């Protein structure tokens, strides 16, 4: 039994370390490594010497045909030789019955899994009973059936043999509907429900094992991140925006109290992990040679551990500490009340009337000074939402200096500043015809992100170099690997080449621009409006 524990601990630790080293690789790679670690706990490593005596154990790594030949040539060990050599009994079922501790732990695990299956079937019946007839759903062209029912989340997917997507009724009026549907469809296409059942079975049978609980939680996270990566590849920034929007204003519904999604379908759905999902979409995930080498090394170490330790007859002592972080609570009632109050104060933020916009600025300022502080995490998130909304409105009013003043007031020296707010301040300095101070803001951002600027910040940096007539540096910035090539960057290049009088490059760039733009003199592009995650939740003007 000790050999079994040591072997699986060695496999699990080596594969977990590989997952940590593969953060920049596609999440699906880490998911499969974690599932390999989970499945290893089903292998009776402590019985391998008896199952594959002598040379047979080494030959088992060569292939099925070799195993069959060796089986025919090797004599089965007799009871006498087993006693003399200390070999284990080859019948692993007999060993299982002998190990009463493992048997005692297995029974409640089986009962727990059967209970979860029963609970899952009850949930399906309840979902069907609470289904709401929505005629316009027929207009949604989806590969799987879509139904509307009472849920306490945005959507879930069920069914291995008859896949179905269930939607929260509130989602039908939300702009994130397309992204949510794509997300659930991707889970079904990847076969994630089958993997979830395997994870659930492992969690149930090894209910006593903190390592299995950790592996299962990590596997669910990687499954969710791999789904996000595929959706982001199709919808790009729109998917990331919708994910952030759902995080800032989560759906809630009168879900029945008689059922729970439970461990069968439960993806990781804590606010902290959802925030991590949004951030991870900013990181490029490409399979590289070093990722393959890391993966192969981890699997090789696991194979060696299984081959080596399963042959040992002397038990060894090993201790492992596994700490599972407690689930973070949902947003507090105070947070939700203050957020609704902020949305009410900024209800006319989409207006084009200057008087209404000035009133919005006054309302947000009054909201800020008349509210109670929240916990650190909620305070940071709500302040970020409020400031970006304020900056958007002031930008529409042309109050660029007021944006700088508000930023210095909301985020004084020594305060942790969300990275992308530097783009807003740089934009404001640019509007004030002060590119030096704008460049200073982006220099701070470069330092804080270890020179890992995102496309929006790179574009702003190129725009600043252009305004300072440093065209070579601007083109160098636009040529960085993380910079997207689109109409916005083409317009900036069009202006730069016209200033350099580079007729060859100018003609090439014109072929990619719309005809109505290519036929006019090049102008320096505008930096654009700063956005806000809360804008989508406000009514139209």
Residue 424 belongs to a domain? yes
Is residue 265 located within the same domain as residue 294? no
The predicted structure's pLDDT at residue 480: 86
- Bridge partners (DSSP) of residue 155 are 167
Is residue 352 located within the same domain as residue 464? yes
Cα–Cα distance measured from residue 442 to residue 451, given in angstroms and rounded to the nearest whole number = 10
- Is 427:530 a contact under the CB 8 Å cutoff? yes
Cβ neighbors of 479 (< 8 A, separation 6 or more) are none
More confident residue, 71 or 173: 173
**Confidence check: pLDDT of 167 > 50:** yes
Q: What is the 3-state secondary structure (H, E, C) of 480-514?
A: CCCCCCCHHHHHHHHHHHHHHCCHHHHHHHHCCCC
Q: Supply 192's token pair.
A: 């994630």
- Give the pairing type, strands 155-158 and 164-167: antiparallel
Sign of CA dihedral 271, 116, 254, 182: positive
Is residue 177 located within the same domain as residue 264? yes
Within 10 angstroms of residue 42's Cβ, the number of other Cβ atoms is 11
Q: In what order do the strands lie in the sheet with 146-148?
A: 146-148, 164-167, 155-158
Range of the domain at 36: 1-98+286-330
The predicted structure's pLDDT at residue 358: 94
- Is 303:18 a contact under the CB 8 Å cutoff? no
Cα–Cα distance measured from residue 193 to residue 414, given in angstroms and rounded to the nearest whole number = 47
Residue 277 belongs to a domain? no
- Is 349:360 a contact under the CB 8 Å cutoff? yes
Average pLDDT (6-15) is 83
pLDDT in tens, 178-205: 999 999 999 999 999 999 999 999 999 9
pLDDT in tens, 399-434: 999 999 999 999 988 788 887 788 899 889 988 988
Is residue 391 located within the same domain as residue 326? no
> How many residues in total does the chain contain?
541
Is residue 146 located within the same domain as residue 264? yes
Residue linked to tokens 């549907």: 181
The predicted structure's pLDDT at residue 484: 72
**Confidence check: pLDDT of 280 > 50:** yes
**Phi, psi (deg, nearest 5) at residue 503:** -65, -35
Is residue 48 located within the same domain as residue 18? yes
Residue 276 belongs to a domain? no
Average pLDDT (491-500) is 89
Q: Supply 387's token pair.
A: 């400031």
**Confidence tier at 66 by pLDDT (50, 70, 90):** very low
Highest-scoring range by mean pLDDT, 83-97, 187-201, 291-305, 455-469 = 187-201
State the maximum Cα–Cα separation within the chain, in Å, rounded to a whole number: 98
Using CB atoms within 10 Å of the CB of residue 245, give its burial: 0 to 12 exposed, 13 to 18 middle, 19+ buried.
buried
Torsion, Cα of 367, 371, 376, 377 (10° steps): -50
Residue 108 belongs to a domain? no
Q: Could you tell me the end-to-end alpha-carbon distance of the chain, in angstroms, rounded to an integer? A: 69
Q: How many helices (H) and strands (E) does the chain have?
A: 26, 3
Residue 104 belongs to a domain? no
Within 10 angstroms of residue 224's Cβ, the number of other Cβ atoms is 23
- Is 108:207 a contact under the CB 8 Å cutoff? yes
The full DSSP string for 54-113 is: THHHHHTTT-HHHHHHHHHHSPPPPHHHHHHHTPPPS-HHHHHHH-HHHHHHHHHHHHHH
- Is 516:488 a contact under the CB 8 Å cutoff? no
The predicted structure's pLDDT at residue 413: 83
Residue ending a domain, choose from 244, 269, 294: 269
pLDDT in tens, 362-386: 999 999 998 888 888 888 888 988 9
Q: Which helix (H) or strand (E) holds 214?
A: helix 210-235
The predicted structure's pLDDT at residue 344: 92
Cα–Cα distance measured from residue 103 to residue 99, given in angstroms and rounded to the nearest whole number = 7
Is residue 373 located within the same domain as residue 307? no
Within 10 angstroms of residue 223's Cβ, the number of other Cβ atoms is 24
pLDDT in tens, 315-338: 333 333 333 333 344 678 888 889
Q: Which residue, among 425, 382, 431, 427, has the nearest Cα to 405 in the 3D structure?
A: 425
DSSP class of 147: E
The predicted structure's pLDDT at residue 332: 84
Cα–Cα distance measured from residue 270 to residue 267, given in angstroms and rounded to the nearest whole number = 9
Is residue 479 located within the same domain as residue 376? yes
Residue 145 belongs to a domain? yes
DSSP class of 132: B
The predicted structure's pLDDT at residue 419: 74
- Residue 399 to residues 357, 396, 430, Cα–Cα distance (Å): 11, 8, 13
**Confidence check: pLDDT of 305 > 60:** no
Is residue 374 located within the same domain as residue 496? yes
Is residue 199 located within the same domain as residue 148? yes
Q: Which helix (H) or strand (E) holds 166?
A: strand 164-167
pLDDT cut 70: percent of the chain above it: 75
Residue 280 belongs to a domain? no
Cβ neighbors of 366 (< 8 A, separation 6 or more) are 345
- Is 144:188 a contact under the CB 8 Å cutoff? yes
- The number of domains in the chain is 3
Residue 278 belongs to a domain? no
Average pLDDT (198-216) is 93
Is residue 343 located within the same domain as residue 477? yes
By mean pLDDT, which of 307-316, 333-342, 438-447, 462-471 is the weakest? Answer: 307-316
Is residue 298 located within the same domain as residue 260? no
pTM: 0.49
Mean pLDDT of the chain: 78
């Amino acid at each position: 039994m000790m050999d079994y524990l040591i072997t699986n601990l060695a496999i699990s630790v080596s594969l977990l370390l590989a997952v940590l080293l593969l953060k920049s690789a596609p999440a699906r790679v880490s998911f499969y490594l974690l599932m390999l670690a989970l499945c290893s706990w089903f292998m009776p490593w402590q019985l391998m010497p008896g199952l594959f005596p002598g040379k047979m154990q080494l030959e088992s790594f060569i292939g099925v045909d070799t195993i069959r030949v060796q089986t025919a040539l090797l004599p089965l060990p007799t009871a006498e030789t087993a006693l003399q050599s200390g070999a284990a009994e080859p019948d692993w079922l007999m060993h299982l019955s002998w190990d009463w501790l493992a048997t005692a732990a297995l029974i409640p695990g089986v009962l727990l899994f059967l209970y979860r299956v029963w609970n899952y079937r009850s949930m399906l019946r309840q979902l069907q009973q609470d289904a709401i007839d929505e005629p316009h759903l027929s207009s949604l062209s989806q590969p799987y059936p879509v139904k509307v029912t009472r849920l306490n989340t945005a959507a879930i997917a069920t069914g291995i043999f008859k896949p179905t997507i269930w939607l929260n009724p509130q989602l039908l009026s939300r702009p994130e509907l397309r992204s949510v549907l794509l997300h659930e469809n991707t889970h079904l296409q990847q076969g994630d429900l089958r993997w979830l059942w395997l994870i659930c079975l492992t969690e149930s049978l090894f209910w006593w094992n903190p390592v299995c609980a950790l592996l299962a939680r990590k596997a669910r996270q990687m499954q969710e991140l791999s789904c996000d990566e595929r959706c982001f590849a199709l919808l790009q920034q729109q998917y990331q925006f919708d994910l952030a929007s759902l995080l800032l204003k989560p759906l809630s519904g009168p879900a029945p109290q008689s059922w729970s999604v439970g461990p069968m379908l439960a993806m990781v759905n804590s606010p902290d992990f959802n925030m991590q999902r949004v951030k991870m979409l900013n990181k490029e995930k490409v399979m590289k040679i070093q990722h393959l080498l890391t993966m192969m090394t981890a699997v090789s170490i696991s194979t060696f551990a299984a081959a080596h330790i399963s042959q040992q007859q002397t038990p060894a002592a090993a201790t492992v500490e596994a700490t599972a972080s407690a689930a973070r609570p949902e947003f507090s009632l105070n947070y939700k009340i203050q957020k609704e109050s902020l949305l009410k104060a900024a209800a006319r933020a989409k207006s084009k009337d200057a008087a209404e916009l000035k009133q919005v600025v006054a309302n947000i300022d009054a909201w800020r000074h008349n509210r109670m502080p929240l916990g650190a995490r909620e305070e940071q998130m709500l302040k970020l939402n409020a400031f970006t909304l304020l900056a958007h409105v002031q930008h529409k009013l042309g109050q660029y200096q007021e944006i700088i003043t508000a930023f210095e007031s909301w985020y004084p020296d020594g305060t942790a500043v969300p990275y992308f707010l530097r783009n807003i301040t740089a934009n404001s300095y640019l509007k004030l015809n002060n590119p030096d101070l704008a460049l200073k803001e982006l220099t701070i951002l470069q330092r804080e992100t270890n020179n890992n600027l995102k496309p929006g910040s790179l574009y702003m940096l190129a725009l600043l170099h252009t305004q300072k007539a440093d065209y070579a540096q601007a083109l160098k910035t636009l040529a960085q690997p993380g910079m997207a090539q689109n109409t916005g960057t083409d317009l900036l290049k069009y202006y730069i080449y016209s200033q350099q009088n580079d007729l060859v490059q100018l003609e090439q760039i014109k072929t990619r621009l719309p005809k109505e733009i290519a036929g006019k003199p090049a102008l320096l592009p505008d930096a654009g409006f700063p956005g806000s995650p809360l804008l989508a939740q406000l009514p139209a003007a």
